[in-house]
Structure 1
Amino acid sequence: MNAPSAIRNQRSAGLLHLQWPDGSTQSLSHTRLRAACPCSQCRAARLAGRIDLVNAGVSLSAINSQGYGVQLVFSDGHERGIYPWDYLAGLASPIGG
């Protein structure tokens, strides 16, 4: 999957907005992104059936490009997850387009 044509972090609303090359848009809450972290530690916890609650006040504090996706850094200090573009696209259904 190609990278989004635009990425906007709306901290005040707790949303990450993505616009894809086909014109579709997607908004993901910071809480949803943190809960769906694809790092090995978080994946192992989910596979083991352990559901950790994510603080509703967690926010996205940095977005670091990794070429095939982005590393998201959260206000709770978690920064291990690299979110490939196709993974991000699969977290919510696009709207518009």
Structure 2
Amino acid sequence: MFSGAYAPDRESLTLEMCTAPAAAEVLTTWFLGLLPPGAAVVFNTQDGVENGYGDTNYALPHGGGTMAVARALGDHLRQVWSTDHTTDAS
């Protein structure tokens, strides 16, 4: 289950509060197959932006199937969540 929005004027898709496999299913079923060969899909997550990765574009594998997309999304989240942004107060 997911909720989200598509904004053609901004060429963006927003998926909210879902698992990486659910997001991958939506992306591969409804969107990635519509892209021309060689097209790149970049993404970020709210956690990515909030943890200092706002200027980083992560690419989704095109043509790799649902599991490859889910793996890319999961790898992104693991990277974002493992980043230590604590500062030494001494």
Q: TM-score, normalised by structure 2?
A: 0.30
User: Taking structure 1 as the reference length, what is the TM-score of the superposition?
Assistant: 0.28
Whichever structure has more strand as a proportion of its residues is: 1
Q: Higher Cα Rg: structure 1 or 2? A: 2
| Greater helix share, structure number | 2
